[in-house]
Amino acid sequence: MQIKKYLTLGLFFFSLNTFANCNPDLQDINVQIKKLPLLYDYSQNSNQLQALSQKMRRSNSYVAGLFTGDLQVQSYSQQRFLGNERRGFCGAITKVETTIIFSPKIYIASETKNFPCKRQVAEQHEQIHYKIEDNFISNLKPQIEDLIRKHYNVSFYSQTPNGNSSYTKQIDDQFLAEIQELSRQYSEPLHAKLDSPENYKIESSYCSLQENIELGKLIKSN
């Protein structure tokens, strides 16, 4: 799964209180999960799917099909500042809104067009990949909320009332890295098991030997 980030900083609120009040002040967390419809693409051949697979750093890819599931993280944070220009400012994040957008897509190699059994097997194989990621996304909201509390319930020093961009960027990077790690820990073992030689051998038995051979020859000739 590829994770893309869209992180923005919200409006600032100012106060001239003393640094005695410089404490974390995260009050509002809003997490939304959006699943886009599963799309199918039958237009690309196996070589194109293999190239796409390598670009995504996939291994043991099924040449007759490929699943992709981009995860876009759109996050908005709001800060408030305490202090003045002489002493500096203490910033704290008061609100975080995060939207997770899941964009699933299944590619089926165009060579399978005249091989109905192999096409069906490829579709079913990639649908399982999709279900792995869909299950992960379905249970992600409370984990994202915990990560927001972990990383964004902080206060920090800034010389100007415009925020400490390097510090907030570090928080954003840590937040995204942990989402990536959650995905890796849950999904990778399941995908690896599905793409194992043992499972491919089982799936190849679903269709006739002749169909397996003829499709294999067609793929190799392209």
Per residue in 161-206, pLDDT (tens digit) is: 666 667 778 888 999 999 999 999 999 999 999 989 899 889 989 9
Would you list the domain boundaries of the chain?
3-221
| Cα–Cα distance for residue pair 123/118, rounded to 1 Å | 9
d(CA 152, CA 170): 11
- Residue 200's Cβ-side half-sphere holds a number of Cα atoms within 13 Å equal to 12
Q: Give the per-residue pLDDT at 117.
A: 95
How many Cβ atoms are within 10 Å of 39's Cβ, its own excluded? 11
Cα dist from 216 to 166, 183, 219, 220, whole Å: 53, 33, 5, 6
The structure's pTM equals 0.83
88-108 and 155-158 as β-strands: parallel, antiparallel, unpaired? antiparallel
Segments of the chain scoring below 70 in pLDDT: 1-21, 57-62, 161-165, 222
Half-sphere CA count of 186, side-chain side, radius 13 A: 19
CA dist 95 and 135 (Å) reads: 28
Strand partners, 71: 3, 102
